[in-house]
Chains A and B, each alone.
Chain A
Amino acid sequence: MKNATLVQTVTYDLTSKKRLRVGAATPVLNSADSLQNMTLVAEANTPGEARILLNRKASGLLDSSKNKLLLLGEAYAVHDILPFLDIHYRNPRNALDARLAVVKGEALPLIQLRSKSESNVSRYLLNLIQSAEESLLIPKEDIQAIASVIMDPGEDVTLPYIELESSSQLASVKGIALFDKRKYTGFYLNDTQSPLLLLLKGGKPRQNSFSFNFGSPKEEFPQRQIVSFLITKSNRKLKLTVDEHKQIHVALHLKLVLRVIEYPNGDVEADKDKLLREYKAYFTKLTGEVIHQLQRANCDAFGIGRMLMAYHPDVWRGLDKEQYFRQVKFSPNIVIDKIKSGIEH
């Protein structure tokens, strides 16, 4: 353990010459103050080669057993990501619960930033991602989980999408990156659409806050009509049916229980019916956006293909495995069960 240089975060970028640039963030021990980290960069054709080059630059033996984060640059992710992840699966010492994320632009600057809240950038990024997972903004995916999903012809993987704000030297989670089989499609869901996707996939809500404006712009204070609320309970049912024309219908029923956290107008109970209607419209619109985006990206995040394989294997056999998702007809149905108004009326 003494001679090991621990790699905590690895970034993969594609250079203009189609070579792989690999960055590794390693902690540097300073007994005086807290941990700093040092970034090692190497350019090679594959991660294995890059590792050999990095080993020459590092002071100890490179050890990736504590590598908990893999950052994929956008340019790299639009090509097939699986082959270069092979080294992470083959090494017995690797941690298979490493998180993955797609970074807008280049991934390398992300590990070179100097964060003010934590001196160890790997810790900072990992905490960022884990707290986003906690608030149900992004799905909880590690390398082991996505391996099964990527190889599944009937399901596609979704990864967190991060951006570096170079002005403030902060990284922020922008949403969910949509993959089609093994490639990043370039499409992503923003931060209002992402929680909804996760709720539609059956996740349990974690105090996700939303706010929307249902007032018309003609009013004097349009801001007064913004209401912020949380989703406290969510119940999803997905029904897959195939009709005679081999057309796949998916009915998505989502039942939500909301709690209002801010309502400038004051009286929640009085406006309850109006709020119910507005919420339902809002969510239905949002769901439509999500599904539209998914189908544009051809990203089967729901696993429709897997369900077809399980329940309608003959239908599945006759399908076009590449484009089947685009032909699925979704009928979302969002029902707001209750609106809780909090301790105030």
Chain B
Amino acid sequence: MCNSTTMDSVHLEHHLNAIFKHAEDFTIETLQGPQCNILIAYFDTLADKKKLHRYVMEALMPVVAEQQNIAISSTLHFKIIQKVDNLQELLLTGSCLIQIEGEHPIYAVDVSIESPRTVEEPENEKVIQGSHEGFVEELRRNVYLIRKTLKTKDLVVKYMKIGDDVQSELCFIYMPQRAEQQVIEEMEQRILNATTSGLRSIGDLEQLIEDSPRSPFPQMLNTERVDRVIALLKQGKVIIFVEGSPACLIAPVHFNDFMRASDDYNSRWMSSMFISGLRWLSIIVAIFLPAFYIAVVAFHFEVLPDELVMPIKTSINEIPFPPLIEAFIMELTIELIREAGLRLPARIGATVSIVGGLVIGDAIVKAGLISTTMIIVVAITAIAAFCIPTHEMSETVRLLRFPFMLLAACLGFVGMSFGIILIWGHLCKLESFGSPYFMIITFEDVKKQVQAFLFGKADPSPRQTKWQRIQQQISAKGWNFLGRKKR
């Protein structure tokens, strides 16, 4: 279109009306005054009336009345528009356009409604000890939440846009000294090359830019917690925010990152190790326990010790179904209960959980349809799956249970072995933006742990030498480290 410098108010009005002809909330007002008329265009639904009055109407009234020239430099809210392409975008983000009849410059003022959701703890990621802040849907407010905790100049914040028809705004955040350059470039490349008509949510973005969208395992971490994001930023990860989503994407991640909760940062060393170990145990139980039980009962019951054989045999003797069908019925029932629990309003929820527990648990055993041991196995598995801190990994684990059950029912322990080989092989192949996904523990990690144990928690600035670190520990703890008494 033509430059704004050549467009006058009549043309502007026609131009904007042509673009937004279907939008009935698009308003064009004219302030009529004795000397001149001022054209104001804005979206009724996006503009805050109070701001509109305060910044625009009150500022313009004297101009209209006394024909004072708008002293642009003194009015800080006003901005001169240079290009006509920006008009659409400015209006859609809540600005209002102002043009004086007869003159050419178009001014824009940001009068958008601000009513962000209050910062509260995210539902899925609650912790006992630690910060209870979570992100909100507004992009800029999220960046504010990060900046207010991480007051450092070494924070890179980049805005990008994605989407062909409907654009969404993205924000890239990382700490340049800690994040790897290669990863950053790779991420930027992928976002720029991603073609989509419009993002529905952050999950879409994840599928567009991750390494293997067909893998069942998530390759980017999804979290709403502020403290977790900050800790990960310090570790050198890159964060992506999308406007409209309180969750952010984090890359590159390892398998271990999915098993960490914020509790680990706030608890003591020993208890956090114990709880971490418990979580790893829960992932193993959640994937393998039903399959193990089916393999034992269907194929290899000699694995059970003598005292256990008869009780289990008694409990499964009268059941009409083979163990695989039993397991599938119970697992699917539990998944149904879980899904229903999500959708139920709170008041009915309690009643239905009683129904689920009593009817399904108790009555089905009494009717002789499912054995008691199967109920125990399924219950333990369900609980174990919920122990995993990240929601995405928890869903993956719940999904992976079923193929293992099938393999165990067909081939017993051998089938399970092959299932494990396949899963491990797949995990070894997965990469998250260039770094391997499944290196749980490397030799350097072990060395670091041992050093941390002997010399104290290491979060050293890289400029300190080892000797300085030891000195620091001595003065902090007064240890008789080198045989010299501390005064």
Contact = CB atoms under 8 A, between A and B. Distances in A.
Interface residues of B, number: 13
B301 A68 contact: no
A66 B302 contact: yes
B302 A2 contact: no
Given A1-B297, A1-B298, A1-B301, A66 B314 contact: no
Interface of A: 1-2, 4, 6, 27, 29, 31, 35, 65-66, 68, 93, 95, 126
Interface in B283-334: 297-298, 301-302, 306, 309-310, 312-314, 316-317, 319
7 contacts: A2-B317, A2-B319, A29-B310, A65-B301, A66-B306, A68-B306, A95-B302
A4 B319 CA distance: 15
Given A1-B312, A2-B313, A29-B313, 6 more contacts: A1-B313, A4-B301, A6-B309, A29-B314, A66-B306, A126-B306
Nearest to A123: B306
A93 B302 CA distance: 8
Contacts of A35: 310
A65 B300 CA distance: 9
A6 B302 CA distance: 10
Contacts of B319: 2
B306 A31 contact: no
A27 B297 contact: no
Q: Is the interface of B mostly helix, strand, loop or mixed?
A: helix
B317 A29 contact: yes
Contacts of A93: 302
A194 to B, nearest CB: 26
Interface of B: 297-298, 301-302, 306, 309-310, 312-314, 316-317, 319
Nearest to B296: A1
A113 B385 CA distance: 50
Nearest to A122: B306
B309 A66 contact: yes
A66 B312 CA distance: 14
B310 A2 contact: no
B283 to A, nearest CB: 28
B310 A1 contact: no
B309 to A, nearest CB: 6
A2 B316 contact: yes
Closest 8 CB pairs of A and B: A65-B302, A1-B301, A29-B314, A1-B297, A29-B317, A66-B309, A35-B310, A2-B316
Contacts of B301: 1, 4, 65
A6 B301 CA distance: 11
B316 A1 contact: yes
Contacts of A1: 297-298, 301, 312-313, 316
Contacts of B298: 1
Nearest to B316: A2
A66 B305 CA distance: 9
Nearest to B319: A2
Nearest to B318: A31
A65 B304 CA distance: 11
A97 to B, nearest CB: 10
Which of B313, B317, B319: most chain A CB closer than 10 A? Answer: B313
A66 B306 CA distance: 7
A93 B301 CA distance: 10
Contacts of B312: 1
A126 B305 CA distance: 14
Which of A2, A4, A35, A65: most chain B CB closer than 10 A? Answer: A2
Contacts of B313: 1-2, 6, 29
A58 to B, nearest CB: 15
Contacts of B316: 1-2
A29 B319 CA distance: 14
Contact of B310 (A4, A27, A65, A126): A27
A258 B348 CA distance: 73
Which of B298, B314, B319: most chain A CB closer than 10 A? Answer: B314
B311 to A, nearest CB: 10
A126 B309 CA distance: 15
A98 to B, nearest CB: 11
